[in-house]
Amino acid sequence: MLLKHSIPISVRYCETDAMGFVHHSNYLNYFELGRTELFRAQGGNYRRMEELEMFLVVVKFQIHYRKPARYDDQLVLHSTITRLTTARIEHAYKLMRDAELLCSAESTIACVDSDGEPRRIPENLSEITRVQ
């Protein structure tokens, strides 16, 4: 199974704040894109997953902001699955501008059903959510 994936991120104007840099809350949206696209690269599809009543919820996030990003910066986000159990998926992220590391982070996500009750994460998740 593919455990690493990289995507380009182009900083939008609406993501900046009055300090002239990307507001720190927006990095979480970048990381979400990274996770989702890693899953797509594995063959899975998160939209299909929700149609099957499996919802991924964020349980923990640790973010280390190192250098600011600016409007129109062309970044690369590297996302890695670092641990995968039937209850939890852990990711690590590195957001780069060329060779510079701007931000690193780790997250833990869990799977719940439509009532918010914990669900076992199926082993063949990317297969059963594949979109033809």
Instruction: Kindly state the smallest distance separating residue 86's Cβ from its own copies, in Å.
Output: 20
DSSP state letters, 63-131: EEE-S--BTT-EEEEEEEEEEE-SSEEEEEEEEEETTEEEEEEEEEEEEE-TTS-B-PPPTTHHHHT--
Q: What is the CA radius of gyration of the chain?
A: 15
How many CB atoms sit inside 10 A of residue 87's CB?
A: 13
Residue of 17, 72, 98, 113 marked catalytic: 17
Q: How many CA atoms lie within 13 Å of 76's alpha carbon, on the beta-carbon side?
A: 10
Pick between residue 3 and residue 59 the one whose CB is nearest to its own copies.
59
- Which positions touch its own copies (CB under 8 A)? 12-14, 16-21, 23-26, 28-29, 32-33, 36, 45-47, 50, 55, 57-65, 68, 70-72, 116
Pick between residue 13 and residue 99 the one whose CB is nearest to its own copies.
13
17 is catalytic: yes
Pick between residue 29 and residue 123 the one whose CB is nearest to its own copies.
29
Instruction: Kindly state the smallest distance separating residue 41's Cβ from its own copies, in Å.
Output: 14
Residues labelled catalytic: 17
